[in-house]
Amino acid sequence: MNNKYSAEPFRIKMVEPIKETTRAEREMLLKNAGYNPFSLKSEDVYIDLLTDSGTGAMSQEQWSAMILGDEAYAGSKSFYKLDAVVKNITGYKYMMPVHQGRGAEQVFLPQLVTKPGMVYISNIHFDTTRAHVELAGARAIDSVIKECFIMDHYHPFKGNFDLEKLESIILEKGADHVAGIIMTLTNNSAGGQPVSMENIKAVRKIALKYNIKTIIDGARYAENAYFIKQREKGYENKAIIDIAREMCSYADAFLMSAKKDGLVNMGGLIVINDDEALFNKCKERAIPYEGFPTYGGMNGRDIEAMAVGLMEALDERYLKYRIDQVRYLGDRLREAGIPIQYPIGGHAVFVDCKQVAPHIPPHQFPALAVCNALYLEAGIRAVEIGSLLMGRDPDTHENVPTEMEYMRLTIPRRVYTYRHMDVIADAMIHVYEHRNELKGYEFVYEPPMLRHFTATFKIKD
Ligand code: F0G
């Protein structure tokens, strides 16, 4: 390792032992889990790359802030601390905490669905976002640039909207049938790929032209701001927080799962720019689902940790280490010839399993096959982002066709070391060398919605 990858800007003060299992044990554990990594117990996982959501390590400042948690039902001191931090970052007028990102989605997204036949348009909707769009009675349409799907093709902002497609969807559906445009920053499902400021601005311009609201899905907005600083002309000398503020200035609302760039294990946010009536509607809906708007499903302790974590995640030294570590893993895989989404994204390395296992058709889930092989090889748990996750069309019940058959190696924040990255890379290289032996899967149980979480499978002969 050299200076190309920055070392951890912290030292470790508390450790959690992790168990190792034998291959024979893992074979049994995986079979008992119905070949679905979501059903494994985490103690049976050596390195857990299922998600970067709520899996990060908190700092000493966050832990000590928790002592100050004010557990009042209404108007706690902790709430007002968070309120000040969030308004400082976003520049918006109204905010409320919620228990996590999907809490924000379920309170906010139905507000803009005012009649039948409406759609939300996103660069790519995250799976829970898509589910909440559908639960609200609308449909989710994605409009990402086509370079996003050319794995080895360098594009600095592969998460960008396809602006022409965006406008043509608006014209086809009719502007009054577009509930909103959701800018997912970074674009999780496309490989944690960033969206440029230029693209965000252009989306805003189109939205204003048709009088449509823009919403930032800001789960990984700090990582997006870091990429803008690295790659976009004119931003190289700007502070991350100023880039974040500018991003927010092009939207009407900011929904956040704080479990990512809030550096907390639980929490979320609804932040609204200046539409008081919309905020009031969100407050009304939040009460029966999330709780009184000054706690929103959170306790004072966790709100304190979030107020601190949001600022820590904007620290450039932290972000450099974070993005470098993910890139280190990706570079090792790429050097071994493994097809990955390139350039490497913010929170994860995405392996293109369509290329790893071309002999497994989409409906037998090639990326699930690779995930399970990696678990068997080294006890590493990754996650499928492909045909399985995309699910079925709510109208036709056909499998949604998708270009993506990814295995996501998602790196928790401040948790694993560079040596862990080597263990992951070595195991993945071994799986890749034996890729011809991979087999597909078929359903034993297929749930009707968000099927990837609880489905069970058997190996296809
Ligand atoms: N939006 C994006 C872009 C996300 O990645 C997630 C969660 C959510 C919204 C929902 O937030 O989990 O707090 O309810 N992503 C996690 C993941 C689960 O593994 O990518 P949540």
Q: What is the CATH number of the domain that holds 287?
A: 3.40.640.10
Co-location of 171 and 239 in the same domain: yes
pLDDT for 105-157, tens place per residue?
999 999 999 999 999 999 999 989 999 999 999 999 999 999 999 999 999 99
Question: Distance between CA 431 and CA 425 in Å, rounded?
Answer: 10
Nearest CA-CA partner of 108 in 256, 274, 318, 263: 256
Helix axes 300-312, 77-90, angle to 10 degrees: 30
**pLDDT given for residue 1 in this prediction:** 46
Coil, strand or helix: which one is 207? helix
**CB of 257 closer than 6 angstroms to any ligand 1 atom:** yes
pLDDT digits (tens, 9 = 90+) for 224-233: 999 999 999 9
Q: Whose CA is nearest to atom 19 of ligand 1?
A: 51
Same domain, 296 and 322: no
The CATH number that applies at residue 337 is 3.90.1150.10
Among the listed residues 131, 120, 191, 234, the one whose alpha carbon sits nearest the alpha carbon of residue 352: 191
> Ligand 1, closest atom to CA 50?
19
Atom of ligand 1 nearest to the CA of 257: 13
2: pLDDT strictly greater than 60: no
By annotation, the residues acting in catalysis are 73, 126-127, 217, 219, 260, 452
Atom of ligand 1 nearest to the CA of 53: 16
- Quick check: helix, strand or coil at residue 183? strand
Q: How many angstroms separate the alpha carbon of residue 101 from the centre of ligand 1? A: 6
Distance CA 225, CA 442 (A): 40
Residue 200 has pLDDT above 60, yes or no: yes
Q: Are 262 and 33 in contact (CB under 8 A)?
A: no
Query: CB of 55 closer than 6 A to ligand 1?
Result: no
167 within a domain of the structure (yes/no): yes
What is the 406 CA–ligand 1 centroid distance (Å)?
Answer: 17
SS3 193: strand
Residue 1: inside a domain, yes or no?
A: no
Q: Which of 345, 379, 385, 357 is closest to 185 using CA atoms?
A: 345
Helix (H, G, I), strand (E, B) or coil at 264: coil
The overall average pLDDT reported for the chain is 96
Mean pLDDT on 177-202 = 97
Residue ending a domain, choose from 260, 280, 312: 312
227 occurs within a structural domain:
yes
Q: Report pLDDT for 449.
A: 84
Q: 120 and 33, same structural domain?
A: no
- The reply to whether 18 falls in a domain is no
Please say whether the beta carbons of 103 and 297 come within 8 A: yes
What's the Cα-to-Cα distance from 147 to each of 15, 142, 143, 152, 195, rounded to whole Å?
Answer: 41, 14, 12, 9, 13
Range of the domain at 106: 60-312
Taking CA atoms only, the protein residue closest to ligand 1 atom 8 is 101
The reply to whether 227 and 117 lie within a common domain is: yes
- Distance, CA 237 to ligand 1 centroid (Å)? 30
| pLDDT for residue 432 is more than 70 | yes
Atom of ligand 1 nearest to the CA of 103: 14
pLDDT at 15: 96
The predicted structure's pLDDT at residue 3: 65
Tell me the pLDDT tens digit for each residue of 104-116. 999 999 999 999 9
| Residues 337-341, mean pLDDT to the nearest whole number | 97
Over residues 155-182, the mean pLDDT reads: 98
Please indicate, yes or no, whether residues 264 and 354 belong to a single structural domain of this protein.
no
User: Which string of DSSP letters, residue by residue, matches 386-443?
Assistant: SHHHH-B-TTT-SBPP-S--EEEEE--TT-S-HHHHHHHHHHHHHHHHTGGG---EEE
Residue 17 lies in a domain: no
- CB of residue 258 inside a 6 A radius of ligand 1: no
Position 156 in a domain: yes
Which of 48, 186, 188, 347 has most ligand 1 atoms within 8 Å of its beta carbon, as the pocket-test mutant? 188
Domain count, the chain: 2
Is there a single domain that holds both residue 107 and residue 173? yes
- 355 and 253 housed in the same domain: no
Model confidence pLDDT, tens digit, residues 235-260:
999 999 999 999 999 999 999 999 99
**Average pLDDT rounded to a whole number, residues 175-194:** 96
Residue 357 and residue 426 in one domain: yes
Does 29 reside within a domain? yes
Question: Does residue 344 form part of some domain?
Answer: yes
Structure confidence at residue 401 (pLDDT) = 83
Q: What is the pLDDT of residue 14?
A: 95
Answer yes or no: do 220 and 144 share one domain.
yes
Last residue of a domain, one of 297, 312, 327: 312
Total-model pTM: 0.96
